[in-house]
């Protein structure tokens, strides 16, 4: 297997043309790319790792060539600028990994781009499962990502609106890919593309019929605070839309479908593109917001309760009064057991069956959730991935909504709370820059109020 791997690589990865011949050498035969693709697809997972490591190591940058040219560039300082530009261009050429040419050739054959997207998905999976993190593999990944970012830039993407008249195979894919609020049956998908709804996808000529990222939008009178009203309501399916009832666009689900395009920011571009599309259809529309789940809050809360119990500080997460309510309802003796009782109530979602607990826990859960979204960080950015996504896009953490998702999943994941990330169109680029560069989160007064309540009550 080793020499067949060597054999294939030597045969299909074309040698690097010399600088002088760089524009004069004919591209390698397509059969090379097809053979490379065929061979790679036939490999098992661990063989792919070995193959990719060899590709990244033996077919990357010729380091000696690059360092010789770097030394030469130093020698030409002080010479005329034409000479310096000449040597810089040679150095730039020498810094191109050999496999970058291979990828460019592969992208020109039928199915080549899709092959490279899937190859990057393998690279991401290998890197994320820590199976490998060699610097050469990181270079391979970033070279491939930069090529894909060029090929999948917005100008080359096609915006498609999905309707009930779209081909079945597209509707079937849209249903399959829906990652946020699963589509259960034909009625579900018919509603998602019916009146007061829009469904858009980006497609690319190299992957016809494949939605790369899908955005589901609800057209409402004002910014929605409940998801059941969007995905469950039996709004009569064949009513016509009354424009006077449409003032806001609610993004209630977005999913990217190609793991290999992670980091290419398709979702961000799709949201901005759809906003422009809706503005041309509804010139008076001025409210654009997500209605987003908060995956991970419930688990974080159970962890926080457990953590505080160990340090004997659980009482700070709830006020005296709130703990007393928990004790009354659960019959737990005063003190530690109330923490355990609350943890169990949250982990089993049982609390949702007691109106008294719902009322008693609302202020506590809302301020804890505000802190989870605004205060909990990972490398300085929002810990919650959905928050991080919308904040990177420049959205404002605008409103937390109690009892926004009363489905079992909604209660279990985030105690039923959902959040609106609002897109104030004039502010998204400064907000995005402030977040990405200085990790500043733009939040509304409601959110900041809840956060300061949390900070006061728990003296964190
Ligand atoms: C939220 C999504 C669409 C962001 O994708 P995208 O804009 O391409 O970001 P990235 O993957 O380029 O960082 C993507 O991360 C996704 O599909 N997440 C799972 C479903 C969800 N909405 O959380």
Separation between Cα atoms, residue 254 and residue 56, nearest integer Å: 34
pLDDT at 237: 65
One digit per residue, the tens of pLDDT, for the chain of length 460 reads 778 899 999 999 988 889 999 988 888 899 999 999 999 999 998 899 999 999 999 999 999 999 999 999 999 988 999 999 999 999 999 999 999 999 999 999 999 999 999 999 999 999 888 777 799 999 999 999 999 999 999 999 999 999 999 999 999 999 999 988 999 999 999 999 999 999 999 999 999 999 999 999 999 999 999 999 999 876 666 688 999 999 999 999 999 999 999 999 999 999 999 999 999 999 999 999 999 999 999 999 999 988 866 665 556 788 888 888 888 888 766 655 788 889 989 999 999 999 999 999 999 999 999 999 999 999 999 999 999 999 999 999 999 999 999 999 999 999 999 999 999 999 999 999 999 999 999 999 999 999 999 998 876 4
CA of 213 from ligand 1 middle (Å) equals 8
pLDDT at 314: 59
What's 288-302 look like in SS3?
A: EEECECCCCHHHHHH
Give the distance between the most distant pair of CA atoms in the chain: 87
pLDDT at 309: 64
Pairing mode, strands 287-290 and 248-256: parallel
Nearest to 203 by CA among 251, 162, 253: 162
**E strands in 50-172:** 157-161
Separation between Cα atoms, residue 184 and residue 412, nearest integer Å: 19
Which ligand 1 atom is nearest residue 255's CA?
A: 17
Q: Which of 386, 389, 390 to mutate to test the pocket of ligand 1 (most atoms within 8 A of CB)?
A: 389
Environment class of residue 180 by beta-carbon count within 10 Å: exposed (0-12), middle (13-18) or buried (19+)?
middle
pLDDT at 460: 46
Q: Which residues are catalytic?
A: 292, 390
pLDDT at 336: 59
Written as six digits, the tokens of 301 are 């809360």
Q: Is 179 in the pocket of ligand 1 (CB under 6 A)?
A: yes
Q: Is 254 in the pocket of ligand 1 (CB under 6 A)?
A: yes
Question: What b-and-e string marks burial along 293-320, b requiring 16 or more CB atoms within 10 Å of the CB?
Answer: bbebbbebbeebbeebbeeeebbebbee
CA of 176 from ligand 1 middle (Å) equals 16
Phi, psi of 91 (to 5 degrees): -65, -45
Answer whether 450's CB lies under 8 Å from 367's CB. yes
Separation between Cα atoms, residue 445 and residue 449, nearest integer Å: 6
pLDDT at 2: 76
Separation between Cα atoms, residue 319 and residue 61, nearest integer Å: 61
Q: Is 215 in the pocket of ligand 1 (CB under 6 A)?
A: no
Q: At what angle do helices 63-75 and 81-94 cross, to 10 degrees?
A: 170
Straight-line distance from the first to the last Cα atom of the chain, in angstroms, rounded to the nearest whole number: 58
pTM of the model: 0.91
- Give the closest residue (by CA) to ligand 1 atom 7: 267
Separation between Cα atoms, residue 315 and residue 102, nearest integer Å: 61
- Give the closest residue (by CA) to ligand 1 atom 20: 255
Answer whether 418's CB lies under 8 Å from 244's CB. no
Written as six digits, the tokens of 33 are 């790319």
Environment class of residue 165 by beta-carbon count within 10 Å: exposed (0-12), middle (13-18) or buried (19+)?
exposed
Q: At what angle do helices 428-438 and 385-392 cross, to 10 degrees?
A: 120
Separation between Cα atoms, residue 270 and residue 214, nearest integer Å: 8
pLDDT at 313: 55
């Amino acid at each position: 297997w080793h020499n067949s791997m060597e054999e294939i690589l030597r045969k299909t990865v074309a040698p690097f043309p010399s600088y002088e011949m760089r524009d004069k050498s004919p591209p390698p035969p397509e059969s090379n790319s097809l053979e490379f693709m065929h061979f790679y697809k036939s490999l098992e997972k661990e063989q792919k790792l070995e193959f990719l490591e060899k590709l990244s190591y033996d077919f990357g940058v010729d380091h000696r060539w690059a360092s010789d040219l770097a030394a030469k560039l130093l020698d030409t300082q002080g010479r005329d600028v034409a000479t310096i530009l000449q040597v810089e261009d040679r150095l730039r050429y020498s810094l191109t990994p050999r496999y970058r040419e291979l990828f460019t050739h592969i992208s020109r054959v039928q199915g080549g781009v899709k092959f490279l997207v899937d190859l990057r998905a393998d690279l991401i999976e290998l890197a994320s499962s820590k199976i490998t993190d060699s610097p050469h593999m990181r270079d391979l990944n970033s070279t491939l990502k930069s090529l894909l970012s060029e090929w999948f830039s917005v100008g080359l993407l096609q915006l498609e609106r999905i309707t009930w008249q779209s081909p079945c195979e597209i509707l079937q894919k849209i249903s399959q890919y829906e990652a946020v609020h699963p589509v259960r049956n034909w009625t579900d998908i018919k509603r998602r593309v019916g009146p007061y709804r829009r469904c858009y996808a980006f497609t690319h000529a190299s992957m016809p019929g494949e939605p790369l990222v899908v955005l589901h939008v609800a057209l409402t009178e004002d910014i929605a605070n409940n998801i059941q009203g969007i995905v469950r309501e039996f709004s009569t399916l064949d009513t016509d839309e009354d424009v006077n009832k449409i003032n806001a666009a609610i993004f209630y689900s977005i999913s990217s479908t190609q793991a290999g395009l992670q980091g290419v920011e398709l979702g961000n571009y799709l949201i901005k593109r759809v906003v422009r599309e809706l503005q041309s259809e509804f010139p008076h529309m001025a409210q654009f917001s997500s209605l987003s789940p908060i995956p991970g809050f419930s688990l974080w809360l159970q962890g926080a309760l457990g953590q505080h119990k160990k340090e004997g500080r659980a009482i700070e997460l709830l006020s005296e009064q709130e703990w007393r309510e928990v004790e009354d309802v659960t019959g737990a003796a005063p003190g530690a057991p109330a923490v355990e009782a609350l943890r169990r109530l949250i982990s089993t979602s049982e609390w949702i069956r007691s109106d008294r607990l719902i009322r008693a826990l609302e202020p506590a859960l809302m301020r804890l959730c505000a802190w989870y979204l605004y205060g909990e960080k990972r490398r300085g950015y929002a810990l919650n991935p959905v928050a991080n996504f919308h904040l990177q896009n420049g959205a404002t953490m605008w409103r937390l909504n109690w009892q926004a998702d009363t489905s079992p999943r909604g209660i279990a994941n985030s105690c039923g709370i959902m959040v609106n990330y609002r897109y104030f169109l004039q502010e998204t680029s400064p907000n995005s820059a402030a977040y990405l560069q200085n990790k500043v989160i733009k939040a509304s007064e409601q959110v900041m109020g809840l956060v300061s309540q949390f900070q006061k009550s728990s003296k964190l």
